[in-house]
């Protein structure tokens, strides 16, 4: 516990460094862009509109309610997928900093997760405002649960990015494996369809054992129904976060001092 506390203190001591890197990533990405981070909402809106326009009849639901359902799912999926993809390459991109400055290895995955989280906040803010002020589906108890849900989601994404970044240094095909895995996970997660679509066909276990589905439900439920997320979803995501961070901590302890020689 003393080692963990010391490591977290080092991360906090370098907060200006990694927060500046996250802001720098956003500035580079949207340099000379008229809409800037607004693209973080436009892309999932376009995808949600296409999905609802094509599949709303197959899912036997109305366009308006299903559009918001898919839109929130796409925003959260983009956040987790981006954290994994960018996390896999974050140590290679940060090689210069790793050679010049001794800092905790975990700050480099944190850098990409924070950048993705800023996109997520920009995308979710108009949705939360709409469901609170216009459609009135979001209620105060549900909204109060959002900060804790978002914090847990951030921890999960940080752990996944850390594992992906370290493994990718030693197994260079990790990024390609991730692409295949993310494609499978997208269709195994209730993003464009509701969980009942699988449950009615006897495949409810795909949702019940899917931490990504639980993570999406933790945000989607308060915004769309006003209800706090269920204990099943929160417990699954919390357990997955503990497991992922256990693996991340083991990898950091084993590789932090020598990983620079593999870059």
Ranges 22-31, 54-63, 73-82: which has the least confidence = 54-63
Helix (H, G, I), strand (E, B) or coil at 202: coil
Alpha carbon distance 23, 18 (integer Å): 9
This prediction's pTM: 0.89
- CB 174 within 8 Å of CB 164: yes
Quote the pLDDT of residue 77. 92
Among 42, 48, 94, which residue's Cα sits nearest to residue 73? 48
Quote the pLDDT of residue 252. 93
Ranges 13-17, 50-54, 259-263: which has the least confidence = 50-54
Sign of the alpha-carbon torsion through 35, 37, 38, 39: positive
Alpha carbon distance 236, 16 (integer Å): 33
Start-to-end Cα distance in the chain = 30
Residues 67, 68, 69: CA angle, nearest 5 degrees = 90
Alpha carbon distance 75, 84 (integer Å): 15
Q: In this model, does residue 34 exceed pLDDT 70? A: no
| Token couple for 138 | 């979001």
CB-count burial class (<10 Å; 0-12, 13-18, 19+) for 138: buried
CA 39 to chain centre: 17
Task: Classify the phi-psi angles of 23: left when phi > 0, otherwise alpha if psi is within -120 to 50, otherwise beta.
Answer: alpha
Q: In this model, does residue 12 exceed pLDDT 80? A: yes
76 confidence band (pLDDT: 50, 70, 90): very high
Ranges 3-17, 66-80, 148-162, 190-204: which has the least confidence = 190-204
Among 44, 74, 248, which residue's Cα sits nearest to residue 158? 248
Residue with tokens 């999960």: 156
Q: What is the mean pLDDT of residues 87-101?
A: 88
Q: What is the mean pLDDT of residues 33-37?
A: 68
Q: In this model, does residue 151 exceed pLDDT 80? A: yes
Quote the pLDDT of residue 153. 94
Q: What is the mean pLDDT of residues 244-263?
A: 90
Q: What is the mean pLDDT of residues 74-79?
A: 91
Q: What is the mean pLDDT of residues 134-149?
A: 80
Higher-confidence residue of 155 and 96: namely 155
| Token couple for 262 | 């593999």
Task: Classify the phi-psi angles of 136: left when phi > 0, otherwise alpha if psi is within -120 to 50, otherwise beta.
Answer: left
Q: In this model, does residue 134 exceed pLDDT 80? A: no
Among 73, 64, 50, which residue's Cα sits nearest to residue 189? 73
Query: Reduced to 3 DSSP states, what percent helix, strand and coil does the chain have, rounded to the nearest 5?
Result: 80, 0, 20
Query: Across all residues in the chain, what is the average pLDDT?
Result: 86
- CB 119 within 8 Å of CB 79: yes
Q: In this model, does residue 228 exceed pLDDT 70? A: yes
57 confidence band (pLDDT: 50, 70, 90): low
Quote the pLDDT of residue 58. 64
Quote the pLDDT of residue 154. 95
CA 77 to chain centre: 6
């Amino acid at each position: 516990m003393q080692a963990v506390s010391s490591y977290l203190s080092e991360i906090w001591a370098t907060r200006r460094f990694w927060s500046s890197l996250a802001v720098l990533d956003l500035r580079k990405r949207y340099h000379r862009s008229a809409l800037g981070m607004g693209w973080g909402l436009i892309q999932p809106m376009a995808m949600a509109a296409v999905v609802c326009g094509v599949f709303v009849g197959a899912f036997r639901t109305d366009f308006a309610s299903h559009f918001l359902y898919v839109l929130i799912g796409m925003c959260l999926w983009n956040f987790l997928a981006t954290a994994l993809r960018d996390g896999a390459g974050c140590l290679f991109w940060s090689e210069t900093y790793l050679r010049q400055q001794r800092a905790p290895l975990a700050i480099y995955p944190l850098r990409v997760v924070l950048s993705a989280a800023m996109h997520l906040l920009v995308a979710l803010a108009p949705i939360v405002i709409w469901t609170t002020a216009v459609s009135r589906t979001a209620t105060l108890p549900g909204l109060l649960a959002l900060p804790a849900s978002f914090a847990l989601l951030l921890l999960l994404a940080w752990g996944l990015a850390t594992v992906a970044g370290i493994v990718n240094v030693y197994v260079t095909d990790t990024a390609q494996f991730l692409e295949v895995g993310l494609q499978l996970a997208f269709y195994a997660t209730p993003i464009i369809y509701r969980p009942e679509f699988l449950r009615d066909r006897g495949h409810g276990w795909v949702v019940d054992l899917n931490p990504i589905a639980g993570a999406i439900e933790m945000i989607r439920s308060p915004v769309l129904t006003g209800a706090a997320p269920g204990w099943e979803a929160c417990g699954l995501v919390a357990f997955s976060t503990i497991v992922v961070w256990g693996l991340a901590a083991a990898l950091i302890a084993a590789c932090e001092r020598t990983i620079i020689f593999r870059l």
